[in-house]
């Protein structure tokens, strides 16, 4: 069964604006990861947040994790046209071996 659900499914913003994507999951997890995928390409790992962490930063990225609500958010600040891509959250359920991907958010940044 699909572990992560993402919201919104698609997001269109102007360059320079911030983009926020949300992810919800169903079971307890070891960690949650965010990946980016340009059209037709492989996925690129962006950031990993462990279940005992609440917030993590990497450059223009900020990720939060609320394990009580089983949700995470990815904030991209000062977006650029090059940020146009699909973004997936991925969870590693506790007691499991698998990384399962959410449905993804398609982000379009207009120059």
- In whole angstroms, the minimum distance from the beta carbon of 76 to other proteins comes to 19
- Report if residue 97 touches other proteins, rule: CB under 8 A: yes
Residue number with CB closer to other proteins (15 or 43): 43
Residues 6+ apart with CB under 8 A from 50: 30, 31
User: What span, in angstroms and rounded, lies between the C-alpha atoms of 10 and 41?
Assistant: 18
Among 7, 13, 22, 43, binds other proteins (CB under 8 A): 43
Among 20, 22, 30, 67, binds other proteins (CB under 8 A): 30
Among 16, 17, 27, 44, binds other proteins (CB under 8 A): 44
Among 104, 107, 110, 111, binds other proteins (CB under 8 A): 104
CB atoms within 10 A of CB 82: 10
Q: Identify any residues that bridge with 56 across adjacent strands, giving them in sequence order.
A: 63
Query: Do you find a cis peptide bond into 8, omega within 30 degrees of 0?
Result: yes
Among 1, 42, 68, 69, binds other proteins (CB under 8 A): 42
What does residue 39 show for φ and ψ, rounded to 5 degrees? -50, 120
User: What span, in angstroms and rounded, lies between the C-alpha atoms of 31 and 21?
Assistant: 17
Interface positions with other proteins (CB under 8 A): 2, 29-31, 33, 35, 40-45, 48, 88, 90, 92-104, 106
């Amino acid at each position: 069964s699909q572990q992560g659900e993402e919201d919104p499914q698609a997001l269109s913003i102007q360059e320079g604006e911030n983009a926020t994507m949300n992810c919800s999951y169903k079971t307890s997890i070891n960690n949650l990861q965010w990946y980016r995928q340009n059209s037709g390409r492989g996925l690129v790992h962006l950031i990993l947040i462990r279940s005992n962490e609440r917030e993590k930063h990497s450059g223009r990225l900020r990720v939060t994790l609320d394990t009580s609500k089983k949700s995470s958010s990815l904030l991209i600040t000062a977006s650029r046209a090059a940020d146009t891509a699909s973004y997936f959250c991925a969870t590693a359920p506790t007691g499991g071996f698998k990384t399962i991907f959410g449905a993804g958010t398609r982000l379009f940044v207009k120059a």
